Amino acid sequence: MRLVRLSAILLLGFGCEPLYAAQLGASYDSYRDMHRDTAYGSLFFNATAIRHADNLAKKRFRAVTASGDIELPSQQGYCFVFNHYGRPTLDGKSHSYRAKITKLMIDGTNRLETVEQAFDPTDDLSSTSPPDLCIAGIRNVSKVTIEFTSDDNNYFDWQITFVPR
């Protein structure tokens, strides 16, 4: 029986899920809801925002539920936001997060960019200055991988991959 099930999983993929399947989850239309209803360090895709200024003005947050491949809509750029509310202890210290962006070009070469920025954990539910990242320059890019890390334990550790359209 076990052999049959194993064979089915291997041959047909029944009952198995990809190891790293990130999905876009719940939508949030305000900083308040996004901060209140998700955990510190949660990652969001901000739909239709293509640059930093948009990322502050638009509130079309879609939760990234796990590290891995995510499917994003066709856009000229892609912006992401972190929840910086609700840290278990607020010590008043600033922290920094890093994003290692790897762009796989159509010609097969890789381009590596790194971004490091400071952020302040907040106790303000409606804080409009979350840690964020926007990806531009995606022409001739076939795949983007972003590895987020921070000096704040592993709250901001994410690794996502998406195909720009």
Partner 1 sequence: MDKRLENLRMYFPAEVTGAYLAFQSLLKTNGVQPGEYTKFMLWVLVGLSVFNVAIYWKFYNVKNAFVQFILLCGFLVWAMNIDTTRFKDAPWGLGENIEIVAPSLLIFYSLLTLFLAIPQRNPDAPG
Continuous segment of H or E residues that includes residue 61: strand 61-64
Structure tokens at 105: 């070009």
Pick the closer one to partner 1 by CB: 67 or 75: 75
- Alpha helices by DSSP H, 20-137: 31-37, 52-57
Rounded least distance, CB 126 to partner 1, Å: 4
Can you count the helices (H) and strands (E) in the chain?
3, 10
Rounded least distance, CB 100 to partner 1, Å: 31
Rounded least distance, CB 124 to partner 1, Å: 7
Binding site for partner 1 (CB under 8 A): 29-33, 57-60, 124-126, 128
Rounded least distance, CB 130 to partner 1, Å: 12
Pick the closer one to partner 1 by CB: 22 or 34: 34
Pick the closer one to partner 1 by CB: 87 or 103: 87
Pick the closer one to partner 1 by CB: 84 or 103: 84
For residue 121, CA distances in Å to 18, 32, 47, 90, 165 come to 33, 15, 23, 7, 33
Residue (of 59, 56, 58, 66) closest to 24 by Cα position: 66
